[in-house]
């Protein structure tokens, strides 16, 4: 007598149709349950990881945007420095010229005293 299984999964010729009494099908059911449980766990972990990656990505974007804003502000500030230096140099030169024109003898005397002091300090 040939024992085959019909399309429905129950024995075609006699036998016990109760799968709980068959140890192989019981083990298969346990394995299938474990696989399903593992699949659900992996899905849950993947969802949480995706959320964390999204948060970290947002944080990184904010940090990059902040650094970009700071660099832009520093660049604008640095680009204005040469013009400010020229303006200050012009003001100092104009003030020195005005002082020399106002008191030429005092300026020459001051230059001689400063030259003498520098010469004395150089000898030490």
69, HSE (Cβ side, Cα atoms, 13 Å): 6
55 falls within a domain:
yes
> Is position 32 within any domain?
yes
Q: What is the pLDDT of residue 103?
A: 94
Mean pLDDT in consecutive groups of 10 residues from the start of the chain, 124 residues = 49 51 76 88 89 91 94 94 94 94 94 95 89
Give the pLDDT confidence score for residue 105 in this predicted structure.
95
Q: In this predicted structure, what is the pLDDT of residue 18?
A: 55
> What are phi and psi for residue 81, nearest 5 degrees?
-60, -45
Evaluate whether 42 touches 48 at the Cβ level (below 8 Å).
no
Tell me, yes or no, whether 42 lies in a domain.
yes
Residue 2 lies in a domain: no
Number of domains in the chain: 1
In a domain, 4, yes or no: no
| 13 in any annotated domain | no
Domain range for residue 73? 20-123
11 domain residue, yes or no? no
- pLDDT score at 71: 95
Name the CA radius of gyration of the chain, rounded. 46
């Amino acid at each position: 007598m040939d024992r085959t299984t019909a399309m429905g999964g129950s024995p075609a010729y006699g036998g016990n149709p109760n799968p709980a009494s068959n140890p192989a099908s019981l083990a298969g059911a346990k394995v299938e349950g474990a696989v399903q449980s593992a699949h659900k766990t992996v899905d849950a972990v993947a969802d949480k990881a995706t959320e964390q990656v999204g948060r970290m990505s947002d944080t990184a974007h904010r940090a990059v945007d902040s650094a970009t804003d700071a660099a832009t502000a520093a660049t604008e500030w640095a680009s204005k420095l040469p013009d400010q230096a020229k303006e200050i140099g012009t003001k100092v030169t104009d003030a020195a010229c005005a002082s020399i024109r106002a008191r030429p003898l005092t300026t020459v005397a001051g230059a001689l005293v400063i030259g003498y002091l520098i010469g004395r300090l150089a000898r030490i």
